[in-house]
Amino acid sequence: MSLRIIFMGTPDFSVPTLRALVDAGHEIVAVYSQPPRPAGRRGLDLKASPVLQAAEALDIPVLTPLNFRQDDDREAFRAHAADVAVVVAYGLLLPEAILNGTRLGCYNGHASLLPRWRGAAPIQRAIMAGDAETGVMVMQMEKGLDTGPVALTRKVAIGPDTTAGELHDLLMVAGADAMVEAMARLEAGDLPLTPQADEGVLYAAKIDKGETRIDFGRPAAEVHNHIRGLSPFPGAWFETEIGGRPERVKVLGSTLGQSGGNNVGRAGTVIGNDLTVACGDGSVRLTRLQKAGGKPLDAFDFLRGSPLPPGTALS
Q: What is the dihedral of CA 18, 21, 25, 31, to 10 degrees?
A: -40
> Which CA distances in Å does 199 have to 116, 153, 206, 216, 228?
9, 18, 22, 33, 27
pLDDT of 22 higher than 90:
yes
Residue 314 resides in a domain: no
Helices 50-57 and 15-23 pack at an angle, to 10 degrees, of 20
Helices (H), the chain: 15-23, 50-57, 71-79, 96-99, 122-128, 164-187, 220-229, 299-305
**Do residue 198 and residue 213 come from a single domain?**
no
Q: How confident is the model at residue 265 (pLDDT cuts 50, 70, 90)?
A: confident
Given a contact cutoff of 8 angstroms between Cβ atoms, the answer to whether 13 and 33 are in contact is: no
- In 3D, which of 133, 107, 131, 108 has the Cα closest to residue 119? 108
Q: How far apart are CA 256 and CA 242, in angstroms?
A: 24
Average pLDDT (105-111) is 98
pLDDT of 14 higher than 70:
yes
Residue 88 resides in a domain: yes
pLDDT of 261 higher than 60:
no
- Identify the pLDDT of residue 152: 97
Average pLDDT (215-226) is 97
Residue 147 resides in a domain: yes
Which of 41-45, 73-77, 309-313 shows the lowest per-residue confidence on average (mean pLDDT)?
41-45
- Rounded to the nearest 5°, which phi and psi values hold at 181? -65, -40
**Do residue 30 and residue 172 come from a single domain?**
yes
Q: Which residues are annotated as a binding site for (6S)-5,6,7,8-tetrahydrofolate?
A: 112-115
- Identify the pLDDT of residue 114: 98
**Do residue 249 and residue 170 come from a single domain?**
no
DSSP letters spanning 176-232: HHHHHHHHHHHHTT----BPPPSSS--EEPPPPGGG-B--TTSBHHHHHHHHHHTTT
Q: How confident is the model at residue 234 (pLDDT cuts 50, 70, 90)?
A: very high
pLDDT digits (tens, 9 = 90+) for 134-171: 999 999 999 999 999 999 999 999 999 999 999 999 99
Q: Which residues are annotated as a binding site?
A: 112-115
- Identify the pLDDT of residue 259: 56
- Identify the pLDDT of residue 46: 83
Q: How many residues does the chain have?
A: 315
Residue 150 resides in a domain: yes
Average pLDDT (27-47) is 84
Average pLDDT (20-47) is 87
**Do residue 235 and residue 280 come from a single domain?**
yes
Question: Could you tell me the sign of the dihedral formed by the alpha carbons of 59, 65, 71, 74, in that order?
Answer: positive
pLDDT digits (tens, 9 = 90+) for 288-308: 999 999 999 999 999 999 999
Instruction: Tell me the pLDDT of the chain averaged across its residues.
Output: 95
- Single residue among 203, 219, 240 that ends a domain in this structure: 203
Given a contact cutoff of 8 angstroms between Cβ atoms, the answer to whether 161 and 251 are in contact is: no
**Do residue 193 and residue 234 come from a single domain?**
no
Given a contact cutoff of 8 angstroms between Cβ atoms, the answer to whether 157 and 119 are in contact is: no
Q: How far apart are CA 103 and CA 107, in angstroms?
A: 12
Residue 144 resides in a domain: yes
- Rounded to the nearest 5°, which phi and psi values hold at 166? -65, -40
- Identify the pLDDT of residue 39: 72
- Tally of domains in the chain: 2
Residue 246 resides in a domain: yes
Give the CATH number, domain containing residue 74.
Answer: 3.40.50.170
Q: How confident is the model at residue 258 (pLDDT cuts 50, 70, 90)?
A: confident
- Identify the pLDDT of residue 38: 80
Residue 242 resides in a domain: yes
- Identify the pLDDT of residue 101: 97
Parallel/antiparallel/unpaired status of strands 150-157 and 133-140 = antiparallel
- Domain of residue 83 covers 4-203
**Do residue 104 and residue 172 come from a single domain?**
yes
- Identify the pLDDT of residue 205: 96
Burial classification of residue 267, based on how many CB atoms lie within 10 Å of its CB (0-12 exposed, 13-18 middle, 19 or more buried): buried
**Do residue 182 and residue 43 come from a single domain?**
yes
End-to-end CA distance of the chain: 60
- Single residue among 150, 173, 203 that ends a domain in this structure: 203
**Do residue 31 and residue 91 come from a single domain?**
yes
**Do residue 272 and residue 251 come from a single domain?**
yes
- Single residue among 203, 238, 255 that ends a domain in this structure: 203
The C-alpha angle with vertex 309 and arms to 307 and 315, in degrees rounded to 5, equals 90
pLDDT of 243 higher than 90:
no
**Do residue 178 and residue 236 come from a single domain?**
no
> Which CA distances in Å does 149 have to 7, 10, 89, 142, 314?
20, 23, 18, 9, 46
- Identify the pLDDT of residue 264: 67
Residue 38 resides in a domain: yes
**Do residue 122 and residue 188 come from a single domain?**
yes
Q: How far apart are CA 55 and CA 264, in angstroms?
A: 54
- Identify the pLDDT of residue 40: 61
- Identify the pLDDT of residue 45: 76
pLDDT of 42 higher than 90:
no
**Do residue 183 and residue 220 come from a single domain?**
no
Give the CATH number, domain containing residue 231.
Answer: 3.10.25.10
